[in-house]
Amino acid sequence: MDYRNYFILCCWKILVLNITRFIEIGYVVYIFIYNLIKIKKITYHDKKINKLKLVAASTIVVLIGRYVFLSRDIWLTQPYINSVPYIYKANNLIEYNEETGVYTITSNTDDFKILQLTDIHLGGSILSYDKDLKALETVYKLIDYTKPNLVIVTGDLTFPKGVNSKKIKKGDIIMRDKLKDKDYFEAFLLDKNKEISEIEALIENLPEENKAGLRNGQGFLQQFYREKLMAMYSNGTSVADLKEPFFKMLNYAEHTINADLGNFKTTEILALAVLLDIVDDRLFVIAKKSEENEKLFDIFLQYLNSNWSTNSSETIYDSLLEAAYSDTPEENLCMYLNKKWYKEHRDADWYNSARSKYNTYCGYWAMEVAALVKILNISDDILKTCSYYPYDMVHFQKLHTE
């Protein structure tokens, strides 16, 4: 059965179940009211009204209203399901043995990927419409994102009581970091926003002659906005929403980046600009201020502006560039991420922060690797399963559009 018809059928089944339950409840209420009636007729404005007929008519009206109310979810959800574009379909060889009742699925690739979907909790009522739509969108994105050979749906596909259907909170399923949980990042972002507000208020009241204090404050804010951006990505925030903290970080980096701050910060800022499709004159200013003869800078800047002259032949990213420009870049980049990337950043201020008791961890993400993948148009089906690879950063335009 087509997956769209399957979900539509599920919604209709839930609707019928809800209506049936309401009829049962309505019947009980009707009997209760009827038995309370001692006088069959009442007088209203000199008009006699039969209570039995009134109760019966009211019950019918309520039932019809209930049906219309509940079925609105079907009217609203079905057009969305019908509008979902083509989803990747694996061309597997499927054989069925009638004697044993066993299906044999043969993949046309070296690996066989299974996606398990569970606890979708479609409510099937107008009160759960937003939740249902979010669940369906999540299912679509998961299938399109993982491109599995086989999808298995297990457990709690529906939730019979639409009013009580479980809510999918923003970010519950798209949580990207694997080292910390959602509660950690929500607390981290709350504290980080508080720190940012305090520092911004402090430097706003500094006298103009206190240039050292102003510079120190801007340095803290550049770092804080960087940590906020990384934590937001780790927590599952839409990539499009990362532009706001990036521009804030860029604004302060313009005043604080210099040769003493090292190569890593400038590389990361330029990589983020590539991934977020941001072209800003301050990026070129920052690259010049860093005074680094770095080949990777030129690759990023030339992508952002074709008029940028390439003049660097030296690099501290030999392993990365060797993997990216090899005959099998996807496999070699995955090996680089899993075995070398984290170790090569042992001098970075965020290194080993996941073990810090001060909760300074905001995520380990190889933005420069993702930027190279985007620039060189390297297939990253394998990379999305590798450590530290920010897959959504490379594909955010597609995901955001969908």
Domains of the chain, by residue range, sit at: 3-164, 182-401
8 Å CB contact between 249 and 265: no
User: Does the structure show a pLDDT above 70 at 111?
Assistant: yes
Q: What is the pTM of this model?
A: 0.60
User: Does the structure show a pLDDT above 70 at 41?
Assistant: no
Residue with tokens 């394998």: 382
User: Does the structure show a pLDDT above 60 at 38?
Assistant: no
Higher pLDDT, 316 or 59: 316
Over residues 329-379, the pLDDT tens digits come to 999 999 999 999 999 999 888 999 999 989 999 999 999 999 999 999 999
The CA–CA distances, whole Å, from 383 to 281, 397, 398 equal 31, 18, 17
Q: What percent of the chain has a predicted confidence (pLDDT) above 90?
A: 32
- Cα separation, 363 vs 227, whole angstroms: 8
Residues with Cβ within 8 Å of 364's Cβ and at least 6 positions away in sequence, in order, are 179, 342, 350, 354, 387, 388
pLDDT of residue 156: 72
8 Å CB contact between 257 and 264: no
pLDDT of residue 173: 45
pLDDT of residue 61: 74
Over residues 151-209, the pLDDT tens digits come to 888 777 766 554 444 444 444 446 789 899 888 999 999 999 999 999 999 988 888 88
8 Å CB contact between 334 and 379: no
Fold (topology level) of 182-401:
PA2201 C-terminal domain-like (1.10.3920)
Using 50, 70 and 90 to split pLDDT, how confident is the model at 1?
A: very low
37-61 mean pLDDT = 61
- Cα separation, 136 vs 350, whole angstroms: 37
CA dihedral 39, 41, 44, 45 (to 10 degrees): -120
User: Does the structure show a pLDDT above 70 at 284?
Assistant: yes
- Cα separation, 394 vs 392, whole angstroms: 5
E strands present in 79-183:
93-97, 102-106, 114-118, 150-154
The CA–CA distances, whole Å, from 140 to 3, 17, 34, 401 equal 10, 26, 50, 13
Using 50, 70 and 90 to split pLDDT, how confident is the model at 136?
A: confident
